[in-house]
Amino acid sequence: MAGMLQVRRSRGALGGALLVLLGAWGALIPFIGPYFHYAYTPDKAWTYNTGRLYLEILPGAAAFLGGLLLAGTGGRHTKLFGALLAIVAGAWFALGNVVAPLWTTANPAGVPASATTLMRVVEQIGFFTGLGVVIAFMAGLAMGRFTVVAARDLAVVTPVEPVADAPVEAPAGTAADPVDPVEAPESRPVRRLTLPRPLVRSGASTSSDVDADTEPGTDSD
C-alpha cells in the first residue's frame, strides 16, 4: 500500500518546472508585456483591473502552484492534486475569456493592442488560448503518469531484504548428528566366532583311556 502512495520525488520534476514557468508567464505577461509591445488593452505596464485578476492572475497562480506540487513533493496524491489544479488553470486560460460575458457585458480581458492582424493573433495565443492548451496538455500527461503504479515506485518504499537460509533438516530415519568415521568401528559390538566341539564315537578308545603303566610293545591281557 505504501508503494501506491509514494513515488520518486524526481518523477514529474521536469513537467512541474515547465508548469511553474507557464503559470508565471500567464500571471505576469499582462503587466510586463507593454515593455516589448506585446499587450492587451490597457497597454500600460503594471495596470491592474478585475478582469486581469480573474482571467490571468488567478489561473496563472493555480498553474504555478500545481507545478510546485508536481516538482517538489513525493506523495502520489499530492502530485495528482497538483496536476488537476494545473489542468483547471489551463482550461480557464483557454475558456475564461469565452464565458466572461455570462457575468459582465464588457470584455474584462481587453483586446489585443497590436496594429497588425498577425500580432493580434500571437497575443491571443500567448495570453489565453495557446497558453491554456499547453498548460492543460502538460498537466494531463503528468496526471496520466501518476495514475499508474510503476515497479520502480515500489522499489523506493519496499527495499528488498535478504532472505535468511533455512536450516537443512535431516531426512526421516537418519540421525541428526553425523557419525565420526574414526569412532564408528569402536562403537559396534564385536561378534565372537564359536567353533563346534569334536564328536567322539561310542566304544572307541582315546589316548586318555590307555593305561599309563602299560609298556610299549606288550599286549594287554
Give the per-residue pLDDT at 197. 64
Instruction: Report, as an integer, the average pLDDT of 116-137.
Output: 96
Within 13 A of 203's CA, how many CA atoms are on the CB side? 0
Average confidence (pLDDT) over 163-182: 54
Amino acid at 11: R
Per-residue pLDDT tens over the stretch 61-109: 999 999 999 988 878 888 899 999 999 999 999 999 889 888 877 788 8
Least confident piece of the model among 4-13, 76-85, 174-183: 174-183
pLDDT of 74 = 75
Q: Is the pLDDT of residue 221 over 50?
A: no
Q: Are 59 and 85 in contact (CB under 8 A)?
A: no
pTM exceeds 0.75 for this model: no
pLDDT at 54 over 80: yes
Q: Per the structure block, which three cell numbers stand in for 37?
A: 509591445
pLDDT at residue 183 is higher than 70: no
26 contacts 63 by C-beta, under 8 angstroms: yes
Contact between residue 109 and residue 41 where contact means Cβ atoms under 8 Å apart: no
60-83 burial, b at 16+ Cβ within 10 Å, e below that, comes to: bbbbbbbbbbbbbbeebebbbbbb
**183-192: average pLDDT:** 56
Q: What is the pLDDT of residue 37?
A: 92
Note whether 54 and 108 are within 8 A (CB): yes
Confidence of residue 141 (pLDDT cuts 50, 70, 90): very high
Residue-level pLDDT at 213: 47
Across 188-217, average pLDDT: 54
Per-residue pLDDT at 218: 47
Query: Does residue 134 surpass a pLDDT of 60?
Result: yes
Q: Locate the domains of the chain by residue range.
A: 2-157
Length of the chain, please? 221
Tell me the pLDDT of the chain averaged across its residues.
78
Confidence (pLDDT) at 94: 95
% residues pLDDT > 90 (the chain):
46
Report whether 156 contacts 11 (CB < 8 A).
no
